[in-house]
C-alpha cells in the first residue's frame, strides 16, 4: 500500500501540492500512485531532525548501529512480494534479477553490521605518553575515525535496491554514524517508499533517534540542488549520469560556503583489452562472455564494457563475427525509464555517425516499446584517439571495438583514456607478462583491474574498489561498494591527554571490544596496561 | 653558496629574466641574492619530468623510497650551519628554534622511511577466490593503496623546514610514490634552494628517477595558479592563508577539467575552554601556559590559541591580570616577513575596534622593526556570537577572551565556531565529566581535542591529526602531520584474478615483507597458502 508521502524521521508527511507519477516502461503506461514532492518546509524538517539526531546517533555504539542495520535487512524481507512486484513495474527489471539484488542489498547491510561488530574499521591509533622523553615529553595521543555529520544520498535508477534508498551509500553512511537523507529516484518512487518505510520501522524498533533517516521525493534536479546547499549536510553520495554529477559538483564547490566531500560515481566505459594469443585460442568463448556482459541488465550497469581493444590480426574478423552472432541472438530488454531509452538510441546513433566509426551490428530500434537492442561499433585506434567524444558513455548494450595496429598503438590509445571504474585484460600468463607496460598504463586509469573476466559483477567484500579516477568518480580515493565505503563518511579525530572515561570506548586502555589497534606503531588487540 | 636557480629534476636552470630577492626582517634589509622566477618553459619541463618519473617511481619498492627519504635527511644535515644561518636571516626565527625544526624535519623523513620499511600502511586487503560458492563463484580480489601521480607542494612561510621544501607534505608525497614539485616560498628562497639541492643530491645518490623532485621559484600567486591548472598534477598540498588557500580551491574546482584532491591547511583560531574550578585552582599557572603558547614563535603558528573561553566568575579578573602580566613581560619577536607583520597590526587593530571588544593589553606597535608585541582582547559571548568577523584569524601573538555567563552560553558560543585544527579544554576530571556535552560540541569542530594543555606543539607520530573541518582545512578527512599524511596521495586499486607475478609484491601470496594484511576479513602477517 503506497501513500506517496515523504519520510521525515519518524513522521510521514505530504504537505506539498505538486505531485508526480512513475511511468512503467514494462506496461507502457503511467502508474496511478501520486507522489508528493517535498516542500521547503519538509526539507527543513528533515535537515533539522538529522542535525538533532547526529548528536545522539554519532555516539551510539557500533553494536547498536549493527542491530539497526540488521533490522533494516529484516524489514526489507518482510515487505515481501509487493516490493518486488512494484519495482518490476517501475524499472522493467525482471523478478529474478530483483530477487538477487534484494539479497545483495540485505547482505550489504549485514556486511556493514559485521564490520561494526568487529570494530577494527574505526582505525584506532594510540601513541602513549612519554613523560620522560628529552628534550620534550610526549603527550598521550589517540586517534579514531568519527562520523562527519548528516549525509545526503542520491538514489540511482539502475540498481533500485543496491544503489538506492537502502543501498550501499545509505548502509555505509549509517554504519559510520551519520544520519542519512535520501533523495528518492523519481522513476522508482514506490520502491523508495517501501524501502524508506522499512528503514523507518527498523529505526523505531531498535531505538535509534528520530531523524536518523529521512527520504524526500522530488523530480528533476531541484530537490537535489537544495539539499546539496544545506550547510548542515556534511557529505554527499551520488550515483548517476556525468551531467547530473557534474552539476552537483559545481553546486557543491561553487555555491556552498563550506566545501564538503562529494562522492559522485558517474561515467565509465570500462575498457577491455583482448590480447591476441588468447583471443585466437578462445575466440568464441571470449565473444560469448563479452556479449553476455554487454547485455546484462540491458547494458544498464556502471561496469558495462563499452570499449573493446584488439590488436589487428587474422582473429579479429572471426572474433567480430562471433560477437555479432552472439549479440544478434541476445534478447532485447526493457529499459529502466523513458529518458534512458531515448538517450540510448540517440547516443548510439550519434556515436555510429562519428568519423571513422563503422556499425558492425545494430539491433532494430525498439524505443516504442522502451526496449534496447544491442549494437556493436568499430573504429581504428587512430580515429579513436583523434575524437575524444568517442569516450562519451552510451548507457545501454552498445560497445565499440577499437582496432590497434600493434602494442605501441594500443598503449598510445590507452594513454588517452579518461578515468574508469574498471579495466579488463584477457591474456594468458606469458602474454600478460609481455604486456606488463600495457597493464601498467591501464592500472593508472582504473579503480579495479580485472584479469580474464568481464567487468560486470561487482563483489561486495572487503577488497572491492568500485571507484576510480575522474570522470568515473569525482573522488578516486575511496569506493562505493564494499566495506571500505564507510571511510567516505568519517574523519580522524585525535584526543590528546584525554581522561579515560571521556575517551571513545574503542580508544580506552581496556579495549573491551578487542579491536585491532595500532599502539606505539605496533598492531595489537591487547589492552594497554 | 646560492645560485638563484630552479631545480628541475636533476638539472638546475635559471632561464627567466625576472628575479626577486628575500627581505630580511631581522636585518631590516634586502638580501643580495637574486632568485630567478620559473619561466613557462621551466614549469613545463618540471611537469614533463614528473610525469616520466611517475612511471618509474610509483613502482619502486618501499625500501627504495625509504632509502631515498633517509638520504634526504642526511643531505640536509650535511648543509650544516649555512642552512641555519640563511634561514635565520630570511625568517627572523632564532637559531635554537631552527635547529629544533631541522631535527623535526629530518625525523619526519625518517618516520616515513620507517613506515615504508614496515609496509603495512599500504592497506593490503585480500579476499581469496571462492570457486565453489553458490549461486556465483567469487573471484580473487586484492586491494592496495597506489600513488595518485605528480603532486604540487606549496611551501609555508612559518615553518621554513617542517612545512616547506622538504617538510611533511613533500615527505609524505614522496613516501607514497608520487613525484613532487615544490612551489618555493619567496620569503625564504635561499632556504628553499639549500633544501631542494639536498633532495636533488639524495635522489641522484639513491638512484631515483630524474624528475622525482623539482622546485620552482615564483612570487605572488602566479606560479601556484599555473601549477594547479596542469592536467598532469593529481594532488596538491598547501599550507598558508585563508585567502590564498581559497583562491587555490577556486582554481582547482572551477578551472580544472579534472577535479583533484586539494589539501589546503588555512585558518584556525584554536579555541581554549578554561573551566571555572580549574581556572580558580591554577590561575597563574594557566595564565603562564597560555601566554607562553600565544607568544611561541611570535604567535606565528597554525595552532596559536586565538580564543580563550571563560565562564564569568570571581576568578576571571585574577586570570586576566595574570595573563596581562605574563604578556607584558614577554619579549617581542621578529616576524617572518614584512607582509605578515603589517597584517598583524592591521588585523589586531581592526578586531580591537569591533563592537563590544575591549583591549585588555596591547604591546606597542613595533612594526618599524618588524617585531610583534602581544595583545589581549576581550568580548562578551553575546557580542562574539553576533559578529562572525571576530573569528577571522589574527596571525601573530594576539588572543581574545570570550566571557560567557554560564555553561549554556558557553555551549551556544562554541556551536557558532567555524572548524578548527584544535580545541583545548582545561578542567579537572569531575569538571570535564560535568561538561561532557560542551566537549562533544567542541569535538565536532576540531581535528584534535586537547585536555589540560595548550594547542601549540604538534607531535609527529602515528596518532596525530593536524587537520580539521573547514576553514581550518579544505578537507577534514586527513592530516598534514604524522604518518597518516601519506594517505592524502594514494588511492585504492583492486586487482581481480591477477596472476601472482603481476601483482604488487605486497599483495602476493608469499607476503615476503611480512606486512599486516586483512585476508578474508582477518588481520594477519602470514602468507596465503
What DSSP element (H or E) covers A62? Answer: helix A62-79
Q: Which of A254, A419, A440 sits opposite B254 (nearest CB)?
A: A254
β-strand partners of A523: A518
Q: What is the ipTM of this complex?
A: 0.97
**Sequential DSSP letters for A335-366:** -S-HHHHHHHHHHHHHHHTSTT-EEEEE----
Check whether A1 has a pLDDT greater than 90: no
pLDDT of residue B161: 98
Q: Is residue B101 flagged as an active site residue?
A: no
Cβ of B136 within 8 Å of Cβ of A457? The answer is yes
Return the CATH class of domain B271-451.
Answer: alpha beta
Cβ of B477 within 8 Å of Cβ of A448? The answer is no
Classified as helix, coil or strand, B266 is coil
Q: Report which of B171, B161, B162, B219 is spatially closest to residue B192, judged by C-alpha positions.
A: B161
Interface of A with B in 397-426 (CB under 8 A): 419
The chain B residue lying nearest A496, using CA atoms, is B450
Per-residue pLDDT band for A57 (boundaries 50, 70, 90) equals very high
The chain A residue lying nearest B479, using CA atoms, is A492
- The dihedral through the CA atoms of A427, A428, A431, A436 has a sign that is positive
> In whole angstroms, what is the distance from residue A148 CA to residue A227 CA?
16
A521 — contact with chain B (CB < 8 Å)?
A: yes
Q: Which of B265, B341, B393, B484 is catalytic?
A: B265
Minimal Cα–Cα distance from B29 to chain A, Å?
35
Q: Give pLDDT tens digits for A181-237.
A: 999 999 999 999 999 999 999 999 999 999 999 999 999 899 999 999 999 999 999
What DSSP element (H or E) covers A143? Answer: strand A141-147
pLDDT of residue B1: 85
Which residues lie below 8 Å from residue B314, measured CB to CB, with a gap of 6+?
A: B280
Q: Which residue has the cell 638520504?
A: B71
B478: which chain A residues are within 8 Å (Cβ-Cβ)?
A: 491-492
Each of the 529 residues of chain B gets a pLDDT tens digit; together they read 899 999 999 999 999 999 999 999 999 999 999 999 999 999 999 999 999 999 999 999 999 999 999 999 999 999 999 999 999 999 999 999 999 999 999 999 999 999 999 999 999 999 999 999 998 999 999 999 999 999 999 999 999 999 999 999 999 999 999 999 999 999 999 999 999 999 999 999 999 999 999 999 999 899 999 999 999 999 999 999 999 999 999 999 999 999 999 999 998 999 999 999 999 999 999 999 999 999 999 999 999 999 999 999 999 999 999 999 999 999 899 999 999 999 999 999 999 999 999 999 999 999 999 999 999 999 999 999 999 999 999 999 999 999 999 999 999 999 999 999 999 999 999 999 999 999 999 999 999 999 999 999 999 999 999 999 999 999 999 999 999 999 999 999 999 999 999 999 999 999 999 999 999 999 999 999 9
Check whether A439 has a pLDDT greater than 90: yes
A467 — contact with chain B (CB < 8 Å)?
A: yes
> In whole angstroms, what is the distance from residue B218 CA to residue B206 CA?
29
pLDDT of residue B60: 97
Q: Which of A59, A479, A521 sits opposite B492 (nearest CB)?
A: A479
Minimal Cα–Cα distance from A219 to chain B, Å?
27
Cβ of A475 within 8 Å of Cβ of B261? The answer is yes
Mapping DSSP onto H, E and C, the string for A73-107 reads: HHHHHHHCHHHHHHHHHHHCCCHHHHHHHHHHHHH
Q: Which of B127, B443, B447 sits opposite A463 (nearest CB)?
A: B127
Q: Enumerate the domain spans of chain B.
A: 37-266+479-487, 271-451
The chain A residue lying nearest B418, using CA atoms, is A258
A521: which chain B residues are within 8 Å (Cβ-Cβ)?
A: 114, 118, 462
The chain B residue lying nearest A454, using CA atoms, is B496
C-alpha cell at A338: 523513458
Buried b (16+ CB within 10 A) or exposed e, A33-50: bebbbbbeebbebbbebb
Return the CATH class of domain B37-266+479-487.
Answer: alpha beta
Mapping DSSP onto H, E and C, the string for B311-348 reads: ECCHHHHHHHHHHHHHHHCCCCEECCCHHHHHHHHHHH
User: Using CB atoms within 10 A of its CB, is residue B437 exposed (0-12), middle (13-18) or buried (19+)?
Assistant: exposed
Minimal Cα–Cα distance from A444 to chain B, Å?
8
B281 — contact with chain A (CB < 8 Å)?
A: no
Q: Which of A302, A341, A398, A404 is catalytic?
A: A302
Q: Mean pLDDT over residues A105-130, rounded?
A: 98
Q: Which of B178, B302, B398, B404 is catalytic?
A: B302
Q: Which of A461, A476, A521 sits opposite B141 (nearest CB)?
A: A461
A459 — contact with chain B (CB < 8 Å)?
A: yes
Q: Mean pLDDT over residues A474-502, rounded?
A: 97
B392 — contact with chain A (CB < 8 Å)?
A: no
Test the B interface: residue of A289, A420, A490, A492 with most B CBs within 10 Å = A492
| Residues A380/A403, Cβ–Cβ less than 8 Å | yes
The chain A residue lying nearest B460, using CA atoms, is A138
Q: Which of B433, B457, B478 sits opposite A501 (nearest CB)?
A: B433
B470 — contact with chain A (CB < 8 Å)?
A: yes
A270: which chain B residues are within 8 Å (Cβ-Cβ)?
A: none
Interface of A with B in 81-120 (CB under 8 A): 100, 114, 118, 120
Q: Is residue A512 flagged as an active site residue?
A: no
Classified as helix, coil or strand, A130 is strand
Task: State the pTM of this model.
Answer: 0.97
Q: Which CATH superfamily is domain A6-266+479-487 in?
A: Aldehyde Dehydrogenase; Chain A, domain 1 (3.40.605.10)
Amino acid at each position: 500500500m503506497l501513500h506517496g508521502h515523504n519520510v521525515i524521521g519518524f513522521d510521514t508527511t505530504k504537505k506539498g501540492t505538486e505531485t508526480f507519477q512513475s511511468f512503467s516502461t514494462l506496461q507502457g503506461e503511467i502508474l496511478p500512485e501520486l507522489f508528493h514532492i517535498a516542500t521547503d518546509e519538509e526539507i527543513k524538517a528533515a535537515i533539522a531532525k538529522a542535525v538533532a539526531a547526529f548528536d545522539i546517533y554519532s555516539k551510539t555504539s557500533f553494536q547498536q548501529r549493527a542491530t539497526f542495520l540488521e533490522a533494516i535487512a529484516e524489514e526489507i524481507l518482510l515487505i515481501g512480494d509487493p516490493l518486488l512486484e512494484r519495482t518490476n513495474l517501475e524499472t522493467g527489471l525482471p523478478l529474478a534479477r530483483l530477487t538477487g539484488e534484494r539479497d545483495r542489498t540485505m547482505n550489504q547491510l549485514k556486511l556493514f553490521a559485521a564490520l561494526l561488530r568487529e570494530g577494527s574499521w574505526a582505525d584506532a591509533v594510540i601513541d602513549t605518553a612519554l613523560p620522560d622523553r628529552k628534550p620534550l615529553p610526549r603527550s598521550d595521543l589517540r586517534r579514531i575515525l568519527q562520523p562527519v555529520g548528516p549525509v545526503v544520498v542520491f538514489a540511482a535508477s539502475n540498481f533500485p535496491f543496491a544503489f538506492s534508498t537502502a543501498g550501499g551509500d545509505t548502509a555505509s553512511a549509517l554504519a559510520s554514524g551519520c544520519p542519512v537523507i535520501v533523495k528518492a529516484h523519481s522513476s522508482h518512487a514506490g520502491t523508495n517508499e517501501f524501502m524508506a518505510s522499512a528503514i523507518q520501522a527498523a529505526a523505531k524498533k531498535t531505538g535509534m533517534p528520530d531523524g536518523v533517516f529521512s527520504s524526500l521525493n522530488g523530480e528533476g534536479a531541484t530537490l537535489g540542488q537544495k539539499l546539496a546547499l544545506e550547510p548542515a549536510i556534511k557529505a554527499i553520495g551520488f550515483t548517476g549520469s556525468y551531467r547530473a554529477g557534474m552539476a552537483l559538483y559545481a553546486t557543491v564547490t561553487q555555491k556552498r560556503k563550506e566545501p564538503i566531500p562529494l562522492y559522485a560515481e558517474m561515467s565509465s566505459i570500462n575498457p577491455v583489452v583482448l590480447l591476441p594469443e588468447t583471443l585466437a585460442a578462445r575466440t568464441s568463448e571470449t565473444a560469448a562472455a563479452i556479449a553476455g556482459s554487454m547485455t546484462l541488465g540491458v547494458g544498464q550497469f556502471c561496469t558495462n564494457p563499452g570499449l573493446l581493444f584488439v590488436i589487428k590480426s587474422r582473429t579479429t574478423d572471426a572474433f567480430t563475427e562471433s560477437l555479432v552472432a552472439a549479440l544478434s541472438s541476445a534478447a532485447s530488454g526493457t529499459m529502466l525509464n523513458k529518458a534512458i531509452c531515448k538517450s540510448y538510441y540517440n547516443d548510439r546513433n550519434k556515436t555510429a555517425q562519428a568519423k571513422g566509426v563503422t556499425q558492425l551490428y545494430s539491433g532494430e530500434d525498439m524505443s516504442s516499446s522502451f526496449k534496447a537492442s544491442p549494437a556493436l561499433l568499430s573504429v581504428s585506434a587512430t580515429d579513436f584517439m583523434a575524437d575524444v567524444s568517442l569516450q562519451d558513455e552510451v548507457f545501454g548494450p552498445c560497445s565499440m571495438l577499437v582496432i590497434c595496429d600493434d602494442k605501441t598503438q594500443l598503449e598510445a590509445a590507452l594513454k588517452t583514456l579518461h578515468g574508469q571504474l574498471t579495466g579488463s585484460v584477457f591474456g594468458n600468463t606469458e602474454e600478460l607478462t609481455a604486456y606488463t607496460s600495457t597493464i601498467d598504463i591501464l592500472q593508472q586509469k582504473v579503480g579495479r583491474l580485472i584479469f580474464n573476466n568481464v567487468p560486470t559483477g561487482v563483489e561486495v567484500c572487503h577488497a572491492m574498489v568500485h571507484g576510480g579516477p575522474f570522470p568515473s568518480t569525482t573522488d578516486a580515493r575511496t569506493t562505493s561498494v564494499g566495506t571500505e565505503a564507510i571511510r567516505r563518511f568519517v574523519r580522524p579525530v585525535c584526543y590528546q591527554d584525554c581522561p579515560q572515561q571521556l575517551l571513545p570506548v574503542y580508544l580506552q586502555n581496556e579495549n573491551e571490544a578487542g579491536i585491532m589497534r595500532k599502539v606505539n606503531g605496533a598492531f595489537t588487540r591487547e589492552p594497554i596496561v
